[in-house]
A and B are shown apart, each in its own frame.
Chain A
Amino acid sequence: MSKTLEVSGLKTHFFMRAGVAKAVDGVDFSIGPGEVMGLVGESGSGKSITGFSIIGLIDPPGRIVEGSIRFKGAEIANAPEETLRTLRGNRIAMIFQDPMMTLNPVLRVDTQMIEALQAHKKIGRHDAWTKARDTLGLVGIPAPDERMRAYPHQLSGGMRQRVAIATAFLNEPDLIIADEPTTALDVTIQGQIIHEAQELCRRSGASLIWITHDLAVVAGIADHISVMYAGRIVEQGDIDDVIDRPAHPYTVGLLGSVPTANNRGQKLYQIRGMAPNILALPTGCAFKERCPRRSPDCETSPEATTRGEKIYRCHHPHLEAVEA
């Protein structure tokens, strides 16, 4: 089956007075129809910028300097704004951590949703209204008829996020990029929203990129996972494969530092130090200063290595795990 999205060698850099911030520096991944990919990494690792690059929302001083983004076979990296605009909100939708990034505070929910539909389709106002109402119902909003008339500020945070998600799904896009959509929400609300997003994808066959820093959330929703560190994907593969048998020392460290029932009361594994400043990345492997397996080899940047389903960038991976 052909891929919905293929990203290869993507580099998005920000050119600032203090230097060049290589926010995304050589990212490759692909995602097929109906698949869910979790993109995880620490703050500043370039997750959001990867998402923004795909939908063409990189503003100066940033730009895509290299690489290709193929959406259903067509190249969209650095495509003209017009092409991107017809894709955005139509074939590719984005959901943000703050739903107010997509919602207009002074317009009613129905107005916004009908506009979103009519912007990309010839559809009557009445049909549009019905469709919007039905989509609201799909994301678990009780009494959707009533909520259609509400202004965003009259809704709770969880409701707003649901409206944003419903809006994203309105045009039945092929790809949805969700950037930490549940980070600001409570556990029980997060559970509901993940559930609904999963359902919608299953139903419509859309591909979903779920960006988060929370490994446990990814474990619950994704088929594939990509772990980002300092602008690169350091490990990717099938979710079970990566979580149960991590190869990259960073992934190993991240998984080890999550408190679980098994290590109750014991000291947690800790990755030492902190994420490097992307304005002054060390030469070679960006993780080397924090890495317990570092050797002189690590002074050269590790290439992506494919082994079975899994791809990693490391000179000394935990291969015992991969081979097992």
Chain B
Amino acid sequence: MSDATAEAAPPEATIQPVDAETPFQRFVSEFLDSKVATAAFLFLLAIIALAIFAPWITPQNPYDLAQVDVLDGRLAPGSEAFAGYTMWLGSDGAGRDLYSAILYGLRISLSVGVTSGLIALVIGMAVGLLAAYTGGRTENVIMRIVDLQLSFPAALVALMLIAILGKGVDKIILALVVAQWAYYARTVRASALVERHKEYVEAAACLGISHARIVFRHIMPNCLAPLIVVGTVQTASAISLEATLSFLGVGMPQTSPSLGVLIANGFEYMLSGRYWISVFPGVALLVTVVSINLVGDHLRDVLNPRLNTGGGK
């Protein structure tokens, strides 16, 4: 068999890769496999678009006093406003078109939820990475704080903070961040711990690459998948938490009425049969939160197996 030893050199060069799909393409095609999640995702996109384009697609800016007429107050859905357009969802006590108010409220709810979610994500990620990478005492201290924080209900933490800090948009966002960062920190630490002991991280250390670069270039990108899942679910809960606070009257001020504020404002009319003032903003809130959660749940299903296999055989 010795003649065969001279077989031509590096043969693999001619072979094409086994799998031509990029991870992202595969992710997309797997995500689209679920009809429910795809529908929820499209729905969510529509909601976001409505919120963003509210000023251009609503008949009224509900917070421009010049456009609101008190005489339009508490009109039933489908009534015609003094200015001539139809109020399909009726109007509230102050004469604001509910359709317009909901879209503007959605804008505020979404931006408060997303802003606080993003800040909490960044803080939680930094803390989680630090804990996982340093290990030892630092990690112990950080994780005990996280455990402590997670043992209180988020709403309670937020309420206590508001009680201390007072009202205001910035305070609400701060309270939401404090109530949520620990979830992110725990998630990131768990996946960073797994990644940290993988051989590619050891290889990077062998190659003399700095700790900071190992953490941010190597470990962090591999922890993003679970973070995205937690991020969607947490954004949904930030939105409902903000609504809860606002409903209790300690949340967003009347000058920037989120969906929660709208629900609270309409509540006093419930008993008099003018259900729409509270119910329609409530439905908007529900639909938003549910579609975010549906998307998040399916993201988890699609992303999870990928975390371990790395796309193996």
Q: Is B8 an interface residue (CB 8 A)?
A: yes
Interface set of A (CB-CB < 8 Å, partner B): 43-44, 252-253, 255-256, 266-270, 272-274, 277, 292
**A269 to B12, Cβ gap below 8 A?**
no
**B313 to A269, Cβ gap below 8 A?**
no
**B14 to A256, Cβ gap below 8 A?**
no
**B313 to A272, Cβ gap below 8 A?**
no
A252: chain B residues at CB < 8 Å are 1
**B11 to A273, Cβ gap below 8 A?**
yes
Interface set of B (CB-CB < 8 Å, partner A): 1, 4-5, 7-8, 11-12, 14-15, 18, 313
Shortest CB-to-CB span from A37 to chain B, Å, is 25
**A273 to B12, Cβ gap below 8 A?**
yes
Cβ 8 A contact of B7, one of A43, A44, A270: A270
B12: chain A residues at CB < 8 Å are 272-274
A44 to B18 alpha-carbon distance, docked (Å):
13
**B313 to A274, Cβ gap below 8 A?**
no
A256: chain B residues at CB < 8 Å are 1, 4
Cβ 8 A contact of A272, one of B1, B5, B8: B8
A44: chain B residues at CB < 8 Å are 313
Can you list 8 A-B contacts with CB-CB less than 8 angstroms, sorted by A residue number? A252-B1, A253-B4, A255-B1, A266-B5, A269-B5, A272-B12, A277-B18, A292-B7
**A267 to B5, Cβ gap below 8 A?**
yes
B7: chain A residues at CB < 8 Å are 269-270, 272, 292
**A273 to B5, Cβ gap below 8 A?**
no
A277: chain B residues at CB < 8 Å are 18
B18: chain A residues at CB < 8 Å are 277
Identify the closest chain A residue to B30 (Cβ). A17
A266 to B12 alpha-carbon distance, docked (Å):
21
A253 to B11 alpha-carbon distance, docked (Å):
15
B11: chain A residues at CB < 8 Å are 270, 272-273
Identify the closest chain A residue to B18 (Cβ). A277
A268 to B18 alpha-carbon distance, docked (Å):
25
A87 to B7 alpha-carbon distance, docked (Å):
49
B14: chain A residues at CB < 8 Å are 273
A272 to B14 alpha-carbon distance, docked (Å):
10
Identify the closest chain A residue to B19 (Cβ). A277
Shortest CB-to-CB span from A242 to chain B, Å, is 15
A267 to B18 alpha-carbon distance, docked (Å):
27
Shortest CB-to-CB span from B4 to chain A, Å, is 5
**A273 to B15, Cβ gap below 8 A?**
yes
Shortest CB-to-CB span from A83 to chain B, Å, is 32
Known contacts A43-B313, A44-B313, A274-B15; is A269 also within 8 Å of B4 by CB?
yes
A269: chain B residues at CB < 8 Å are 1, 4-5, 7
A268: chain B residues at CB < 8 Å are 5
Identify the closest chain B residue to A252 (Cβ). B1
A270: chain B residues at CB < 8 Å are 7, 11
**A292 to B4, Cβ gap below 8 A?**
yes
11 other contacts beyond A255-B1, A272-B11, with CB at 8 A cut-off? A252-B1, A256-B4, A267-B5, A269-B1, A269-B5, A270-B11, A272-B7, A272-B8, A274-B12, A274-B15, A292-B4
Identify the closest chain A residue to B7 (Cβ). A270
Identify the closest chain A residue to B16 (Cβ). A277
A126 to B113 alpha-carbon distance, docked (Å):
66
Identify the closest chain B residue to A289 (Cβ). B15
Shortest CB-to-CB span from A24 to chain B, Å, is 17
Identify the closest chain A residue to B4 (Cβ). A269
Shortest CB-to-CB span from A278 to chain B, Å, is 11
A257 to B268 alpha-carbon distance, docked (Å):
84
B313: chain A residues at CB < 8 Å are 43-44
A292 to B4 alpha-carbon distance, docked (Å):
9
A323 to B12 alpha-carbon distance, docked (Å):
34
A292 to B11 alpha-carbon distance, docked (Å):
12
Shortest CB-to-CB span from A104 to chain B, Å, is 24
Identify the closest chain A residue to B14 (Cβ). A273
A273: chain B residues at CB < 8 Å are 11-12, 14-15
A277 to B16 alpha-carbon distance, docked (Å):
11
Shortest CB-to-CB span from A289 to chain B, Å, is 9
A292 to B18 alpha-carbon distance, docked (Å):
22
Shortest CB-to-CB span from B306 to chain A, Å, is 16
A312 to B288 alpha-carbon distance, docked (Å):
64
A253: chain B residues at CB < 8 Å are 4
A268 to B5 alpha-carbon distance, docked (Å):
6
A7 to B36 alpha-carbon distance, docked (Å):
45
A266 to B3 alpha-carbon distance, docked (Å):
12
Shortest CB-to-CB span from A209 to chain B, Å, is 23
Interface centre among B8, B14, B18, B313, by most A CB within 10 Å?
A: B18
B5: chain A residues at CB < 8 Å are 266-269
Shortest CB-to-CB span from B140 to chain A, Å, is 28
